[in-house]
């Protein structure tokens, strides 16, 4: 029995030393350590020995078994280390190769700027109001203090659907729609598409505008200037100043045009701003009391301001796009630039 034990030990040692894979080790481990291991067999045979030898020999078996266990554990950790090292060297790649990218798309710069403008105004507490592209003369002209004989009503400027029905020429129609349905306070913007019967390098028959309208008690000219300034800085950058200067619109009094510092030369004067240092952004003014009166809003109690600008123009200014037609060509090489 002694020889049998010695033989088992020698055999196991040899076997374990020669093992090269973790799987193999696992299977030998269960062979030697498990319930049916040859050591357990030997233990069972103990009773064949003389009584006084049994404890001594039992101890020997256990020692051998423990040694074997230790050996397996050591072998296991050395094999694991080896596997780890191999995995490192096997997985070396050329890290300068391009990453696996998901191909994202992009919005047309008009929509991109449109959303940016909405976000700036939403951050300042404005609601986004919806209007109709197909409007009537009342909302597009009468209510906006544009008299019957005004040249803007000419067929050559306005697309007509019917006698009284037209494609809106400005988003100011939404002002009227909102004031018809809501009492102040009102603080909205209305982005949308407008139409004018014009088609050349700097005019598109369909174009995009955004209009802002604020009506409440105690709204002053200073509020208009402050909101405009903040809006311009948030849209174009903190260093972009704005100013307003007198102008005429039928539905605002006083009326103004909005200028911002030239985005190209930052005020020094260049070909974009024609040496002025300023570029025109849009129109603004305090809502004319006539407009309020037509809509049944008390012009003594309430005051308000409105301003508007072309979204397409903002996009062109912001991205320095030279030709308006590029916005509508939808050339994928162009669109890819606005990711």
d(CA 180, CA 178): 5
What is the closest distance, in whole angstroms, from the C-beta atom of residue 291 to other proteins in the complex? 18
What is the closest distance, in whole angstroms, from the C-beta atom of residue 103 to other proteins in the complex? 4
User: Which two three-digit tokens encode residue 150?
Assistant: 């005004």
Which of 78, 199 has the CB closer to other proteins?
199
Quick one: which of 8, 16, 19, 178 contacts other proteins (CB under 8 A)? 178
Quick one: which of 15, 76, 133, 223 contacts other proteins (CB under 8 A)? 133
Contacting other proteins within 183-212 (CB under 8 A):
185-188, 193, 197, 199, 204-206
Which of 44, 104 has the CB closer to other proteins?
104
Smallest Cα–Cα separation from 185: which of 127, 229, 228? 127
Quick one: which of 10, 41, 85, 329 contacts other proteins (CB under 8 A)? 329
Please say whether the beta carbons of 303 and 219 come within 8 A.
Answer: yes
Quick one: which of 14, 47, 100, 320 contacts other proteins (CB under 8 A)? 100
Quick one: which of 22, 123, 150, 160 contacts other proteins (CB under 8 A)? 160
Quick one: which of 107, 202, 301, 323 contacts other proteins (CB under 8 A)? 107
**Residues in contact with other proteins, total (CB under 8 A)?**
51
d(CA 178, CA 249): 20
Our finding on whether 151 is near other proteins (CB under 8 A) is: no
The helix (H) or strand (E) run that includes residue 44 is helix 38-45
Which of 95, 155 has the CB closer to other proteins?
155
* Burial readout 294-325 (b: 16 or more C-beta within 10 A, e: otherwise): bbebeeeebbbbbbbbbbbbbbbbbeebeebe
Quick one: which of 155, 222, 246, 296 contacts other proteins (CB under 8 A)? 155
Which of 145, 204 has the CB closer to other proteins?
204
Which of 22, 122 has the CB closer to other proteins?
122
- Contact track, other proteins, 230-269, x by CB under 8 A: ----------------------------------------
Neighbours of 128 (CB within 10 A): 14
Which of 115, 301 has the CB closer to other proteins?
115
- Between the two ends of the chain, the Cα-to-Cα distance in Å is 81
User: Which two three-digit tokens encode residue 252?
Assistant: 């605002």
The helix (H) or strand (E) run that includes residue 58 is helix 54-90
Q: CA dist 84 to 16, 181, 324, Å? A: 20, 72, 61
Residue span binding other proteins (CB under 8 A) among the ranges 38-46, 101-109, 144-152, 218-226: 101-109
Residue span binding other proteins (CB under 8 A) among the ranges 46-54, 265-273, 276-284, 331-339: 331-339
Our finding on whether 55 is near other proteins (CB under 8 A) is: no
d(CA 186, CA 102): 43
Please, which residues have CB within 8 angstroms of residue 71's CB and are 6 or more apart in sequence? 12, 13, 16
d(CA 308, CA 172): 8
Q: What is the DSSP code string of 208-268?
A: EEEEEEEEEET--HHHHHHHHHHHHHHHH-TT--EEEEEEEETTEEEEEEEEEE-TTTTTS
Can the peptide bond before residue 254 be classed as cis, meaning omega within 30 degrees of 0? Answer: yes
Residue span binding other proteins (CB under 8 A) among the ranges 64-72, 131-139, 244-252, 297-305: 131-139
| Contact set with other proteins (CB under 8 A) | 97-98, 100-108, 110-111, 115, 127-130, 132-134, 136, 155-156, 159-162, 167, 178, 182, 185-188, 193, 197, 199, 204-206, 216, 327-333, 335-336
């Amino acid at each position: 029995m002694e020889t049998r034990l010695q033989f088992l030990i020698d055999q196991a040692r040899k076997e374990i030393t020669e093992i090269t894979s973790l799987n193999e080790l696992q299977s030998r481990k269960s062979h030697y350590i498990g319930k049916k291991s040859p050591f357990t067999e030997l233990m069972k045979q103990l009773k064949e020995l003389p009584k006084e030898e049994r404890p001594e020999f039992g101890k020997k078996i256990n020692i051998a078994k423990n040694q074997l266990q230790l050996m397996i554990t050591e072998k296991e950790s050395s094999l694991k280390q080896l596997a780890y090292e191999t995995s490192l060297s096997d997985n070396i790649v050329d890290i300068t190769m391009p990453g696996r990218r998901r191909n994202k798309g992009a919005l047309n710069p008009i929509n991109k700027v449109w959303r940016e403008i909405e976000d700036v105004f939403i951050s300042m507490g404005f609601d986004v109001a919806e209007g109709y592209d197909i409007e009537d003369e009342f909302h597009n002209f009468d209510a906006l203090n544009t008299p019957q004989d005004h040249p803007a009503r000419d067929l050559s400027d306005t697309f007509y659907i019917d006698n009284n029905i037209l494609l809106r020429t400005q988003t100011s129609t939404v002002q009227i729609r909102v004031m018809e349905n809501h009492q102040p306070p009102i603080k909205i913007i209305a982005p949308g598409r407008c139409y004018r019967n014009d088609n050349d390098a700097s005019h598109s028959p369909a174009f995009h505008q955004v209009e802002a309208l604020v009506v409440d008690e105690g709204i002053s000219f200073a509020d208009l200037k402050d909101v405009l300034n903040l809006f311009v800085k948030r849209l174009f950058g903190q260093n972009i100043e704005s100013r307003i200067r007198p102008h005429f619109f039928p539905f605002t009094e006083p009326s103004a045009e909005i200028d911002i510092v030239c985005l190209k030369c930052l005020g020094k004067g260049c070909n974009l701003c024609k040496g002025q240092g300023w570029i025109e952004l849009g129109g603004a003014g305090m809502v004319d009391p006539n407009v309020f009166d037509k809509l049944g809003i008390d012009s003594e109690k309430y005051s308000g301001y409105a301003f508007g600008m072309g979204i397409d123009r903002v996009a062109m200014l912001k991205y320095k796009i030279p030709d308006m037609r590029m916005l509508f060509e939808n050339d994928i090489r162009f669109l890819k630039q606005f990711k």
